[in-house]
Amino acid sequence: MTKFSTLCEVWLDDEEFRAGYEAQEREFAIADKVRRTMCEARERAGLTRGDVAKRLHTTEEAVQRLEQGGQKLTLSALLSFADAIGSTLRIEFQGPDGEHP
């Protein structure tokens, strides 16, 4: 089986693919940051994926997919996850200098 990263390297040689990929690069980076933050927040709360799954009435595998990118992130899913770990979801906009506008 060929890894996605290997295929992506080949595909990036195609100008049309590369343009589409680069157009979504910011989205990929933000989604990756959100997922890492979710995992860190769950761990800070002292909860396992199994704990969160019970609170969300789902499976541990579903929580794993959410944290690792196997499931699309939605605002609803993020809010439910935040509730399950006893946290508050906060989304911010940041100016180019790192300050909030």
The residue type found at 5 is: S
| pLDDT tens readout for residues 4-61 | 778 878 888 888 988 888 888 888 889 999 999 999 999 999 999 999 999 999 999 9
| Containing structural domain, residue 16 | 4-84
Q: Structurally, how many domains does the chain consist of?
A: 1
98 occurs within a structural domain: no
48 occurs within a structural domain: yes
90 occurs within a structural domain: no
Task: Return the CATH number at 10.
Answer: 1.10.260.40
Q: Tokens 């390297």 sit at which residue?
A: 9
89 occurs within a structural domain: no
| pLDDT tens readout for residues 58-89 | 999 999 999 998 888 999 999 999 999 999 99
pTM for the full model?
Answer: 0.75
pLDDT attached to residue 32: 92
Instruction: Quickly count: other Cβ atoms within 10 Å of residue 63's Cβ.
Output: 26
